[in-house]
Structure 1
Amino acid sequence: MQKDVQLCVVGKVFKPNRLKVLALNRTLEKYFELVKWYLSFNSSSKTFLHKNGYEIAKKLFNLNTALIQTARDKAVEILKSFEKNGREDSILSLKRISIRFDERCYSFSKTTNVLTPYWLTVSLDKREKISLP
């Protein structure tokens, strides 16, 4: 029997420049809007959301396709959790979110620099990649 192992890597970005911070914030804002857009379908079926929203989401949000898929998955998780734990009279309201990058969105590379021995390259949308120490 094969099991999937998930790993969460948390790190501190070492002095990102203003343009990289701006790119990350722009992507976070688009991702947040995309998750809310998927939630507006009010469906916890990934198949339904993929059939009825994936191609439209690619055109509307201009994000990396892996981010579109993780946003869909995150919306499904949020909706299922709300249905399970929410009170009957409560309304789903999303205030903040974190981006879920899967293995298709990033890569690590080793450098010879002592201060920053590893760099993280992240693909944010169809055209933009940023590298962070």
Structure 2
Amino acid sequence: MKSEVKISIKGKILNPNKEKRRKLNVALERYLKAVKFFVSFKIRDKELLQQKAYKEARRRFGLSSTLTLTARDKAVENVKASKGREFHINRTSIRVNYRAFKLVKRDTKLTPYWLYLQLDGEGVWYPIQLGERQGKLMNDALNDNSEWSTQQVELVKGDGEWYAYSRKTVR
């Protein structure tokens, strides 16, 4: 019988070069606009919001279908959480689901962990730096030949730096 252990991984994306940083910044700007667009409908049901606004959001913001769907989901979560009160969205994280990313371990001089993101049709590899504790948990899970997966990664920009957050399920 396999047991499940949840590991919360927080990692800083290491100094992406100018082009990679630009891609992240453009994706964040478009994603925030898409979330605000979806919120403007004040709809609490994903399916109804999908029918009313998905095609227009894809056309307006040029996000992939995966990012458009996660922007829709974030909007629904915000509308539900507001409980009818007025609110404004000024910041958001980019939620990337399992169809648009990979987190892998590779033996490189820069870092052993890499995050592959497909934000705009083209995939890009970003080096990840894990803290000592998170790195040990990740290594322990991988050294046991364990199967590990996650459904999503949250990309957060703070003080000009990019961070990736994920909860791993180790089996």
Query: Structure 1 length as normaliser, TM-score?
Result: 0.83
- Residue 12 of structure 2 aligns to a residue whose secondary structure is coil
Q: Do the aligned partners of residues 67 and 9 (structure 1) sit closer, same or farther apart at CA in structure 2, a change above 3 Å counting?
A: farther
**Residue ranges of structure 2 left out of the alignment (5+ in a row):** 128-171
- Residue 117 of structure 2 aligns to a residue whose secondary structure is strand
Q: Aligned residue for 2:57?
A: 57
Q: CA deviation at 1:7?
A: 7.0
Aligned pairs, number? 123
- Residue 100 of structure 1 aligns to a residue whose secondary structure is strand
Superposition pairs for residues 69-108 of structure 1, below 5 Å? 69-83=69-83, 86=85, 91-108=86-103
Identity %: 38
Q: Aligned residue for 2:148?
A: none
In 1, Cα distance between equivalents of 2:61 and 2:68: 8
Matched, 1:118 2:117: no
Matched, 1:132 2:132: no
Q: Do the aligned partners of residues 63 and 8 (structure 1) sit closer, same or farther apart at CA in structure 2, a change above 3 Å counting?
A: farther
Matched, 1:109 2:104: yes
Q: CA deviation at 1:56?
A: 1.7
In 2, Cα distance between equivalents of 1:7 and 1:73: 24
Relative contact order, CA 8 A, sep 6+: which one is greater? Answer: 2
Q: CA deviation at 1:14?
A: 1.6
Amino acid at match of 2:65: T
Q: Which moved more, 1:57-66 or 1:18-27?
A: 57-66
In 2, Cα distance between equivalents of 1:32 and 1:79: 15
Give structure 1 regions of 4+ aligned residues with deviation exceeding 4 angstroms.
Answer: 5-8
Amino acid at match of 2:125: S
- Residue 32 of structure 1 aligns to a residue whose secondary structure is helix
- Residue 12 of structure 1 aligns to a residue whose secondary structure is strand
Q: CA deviation at 1:73?
A: 0.7
